[in-house]
Amino acid sequence: MIISIICEVMLLGREGFEQLLGFHAAPMLMGLKSASLLSFQKSRFEDFEGLLASYMQCFNCKGISVFCLSEGEEYVLLLFYRQRALMKDLAHPLAKKILVRLGYRGDDTLMGMLEYLKLRMQLRKSFPHEVGLFLGYPPEDVEGFIRHKGQDFSYSGYWKVYANERETRALFDLYADCTHDFCLRLEGGASLPDLVKAV
Domain regions of the chain by residue span: 2-195
Determine the pLDDT at residue 159.
97
Instruction: Give the C-alpha distances (Å, rounded to integers) separating 184 from 18, 23, 181.
Output: 12, 10, 5
Query: Which one, of 69, 82, 76, 22, lies nearest residue 47 by Cα?
Result: 76
Query: Which one, of 5, 99, 64, 15, lies nearest residue 196 by Cα?
Result: 64
Mean pLDDT for the stretch of residues 1-25: 71
Q: What span, in angstroms and rounded, lies between the C-alpha atoms of 159 and 137? A: 7
Instruction: Look at residue 94 and tell me whether its pLDDT is greater than 90.
Output: yes
Name the pLDDT band for 96 (thresholds 50, 70, 90): very high
Determine the pLDDT at residue 3.
40
Determine the pLDDT at residue 10.
62
Determine the pLDDT at residue 106.
85
Mean pLDDT for the stretch of residues 115-130: 90
Determine the pLDDT at residue 9.
44
Question: When comparing pLDDT for 2 and 187, which is higher?
Answer: 187
Instruction: Look at residue 155 and tell me whether its pLDDT is greater than 50.
Output: yes
Q: What span, in angstroms and rounded, lies between the C-alpha atoms of 18 and 149? A: 35
Name the pLDDT band for 7 (thresholds 50, 70, 90): very low
Mean pLDDT for the stretch of residues 99-119: 95
For the chain, the average pLDDT equals: 92
Q: What span, in angstroms and rounded, lies between the C-alpha atoms of 191 and 193? A: 6
Q: Which amino acid is at 38?
A: L
Paired residues of 77 in beta bridges: 39, 70
Determine the pLDDT at residue 137.
97
Sequence-ordered list of residues with C-beta below 8 angstroms from that of 146, at least 6 positions apart, any chain: 98, 129
Percent of the chain with pLDDT over 70: 95
Instruction: Look at residue 1 and tell me whether its pLDDT is greater than 90.
Output: no
